[in-house]
Amino acid sequence: MQLKDKVALITGAGSGLGLATATAFAREGARVVVNDLREAAAEAAAQGLGEGHGAVGGDVSKEAEVAAMVEATLARCGRIDILVNNAGVPDSFVPTIEQPLSHWQRLIDVHLTGTYLVSKAVAPAMMRQGGGAILNLNSIAGVLGLPVRTAYSAAKAGIGMLTRVLGCEWGPHNIRVNAVAPGYILTPLTEGLIAAGRIDPARIRRRTPMGRLGAPEDIAEAMVFLASDRARFVTGITLPVDGGYCAFGAPSDAFALDDLDPRTDRP
């Protein structure tokens, strides 16, 4: 029960990594308020967590909706101890010169501006109550250069620097600001990209020292740690959770798929 009696607002938590994080936080004793652009999805996710949890709709890229979301959470719970900026939209995977400005703007608005707006709205309450923890979703795309992922990569790199700046600015208020950078995680979105032939899982596994794609729970557990008092002296960092993907730099495969046991899909 590492998060017992804490109140956590998690954006974009109707599915995927956000829902996995909400589930882990609830397990650890937190009272979770699930946000999603689709309010019905937020409500269904909150109900799935059990009694005592809540839901709130809202678009994180719209300042008025963010203010209403935060006010509703404070009115319901009285405080916000943890904020997880998870809301996001998928990338297009098309060459930069073929990407319309509207695509660039939407990804920047949701990922980067959304993280900024919700953090800014929650921080005053955290300052009044004496502290809190803000967790942002970066990505290996914000650390490494991934062709054709222009807007997504720029937004995620911006989140990495925003995390550092806010971690330094709000440290005196006992507000810790950290980020997690997931590698390739087997979510429904990733499964769809694999099915469409836009991601080659075998190639990813060969490039990943641990030889597999991650699970949503791998990200959720890192979030639990960073949100807990066990990370009380950690702020301003981006923690890669990627099976060693960002660390590997040799001009060869990181993992030999031939070494896998076909019965377990592990070495």
- pLDDT, position 266: 57
Q: What is the pTM of this model?
A: 0.94
Residues 6+ apart with CB under 8 A from 145: 153
Instruction: Please say if the pLDDT value at position 104 is more than 80.
Output: yes
Q: If you compute the radius of gyration of the chain from its CA atoms, what whole number of angstroms results? A: 18
Read off the pLDDT of each residue in 114-134 and give the average, rounded to a whole number.
Answer: 98
Tens digit of each residue's pLDDT (9 = 90 or more) over 41-70: 999 999 999 999 999 999 999 999 999 999
Could you tell me what percent of the chain has a pLDDT over 70? 97
SS3 content of the chain, % helix, strand, coil (to 5): 50, 15, 35
- pLDDT, position 92: 86
* DSSP per position, 117-174: HHHHHHHHHHHHHT-EEEEEE--GGGTS--TT-HHHHHHHHHHHHHHHHHHHHHGGGT
Tens digit of each residue's pLDDT (9 = 90 or more) over 164-217: 999 999 999 999 999 999 999 999 888 988 998 888 999 999 999 999 999 999
Domain-wise residue ranges, the chain? 7-185+214-242
Instruction: Please say if the pLDDT value at position 144 is more than 50.
Output: yes
Instruction: Please say if the pLDDT value at position 140 is more than 50.
Output: yes
- pLDDT, position 198: 84
Active-site entry in 116, 152, 184, 245: 152
117 vs 259, which has greater pLDDT?
A: 117
Q: How far is CA 252 from CA 70, 117, 203, 248, in A?
A: 48, 42, 12, 10
Question: Is 116 one of the annotated active-site residues of the chain?
Answer: no
One-letter identity of residue 81: D
Give the separation between CA 240 and CA 236, rounded to whole angstroms. 13
Give the separation between CA 185 and CA 170, rounded to whole angstroms. 31
Q: Which sign, positive or negative, has the C-alpha torsion 95, 98, 101, 106?
A: negative
Closest CA to 109 of 123, 91, 88, 93: 88
Q: Which CATH superfamily is domain 7-185+214-242 in?
A: NAD(P)-binding Rossmann-like Domain (3.40.50.720)
- pLDDT, position 267: 52
Query: Which H or E element spans position 10?
Result: strand 7-10
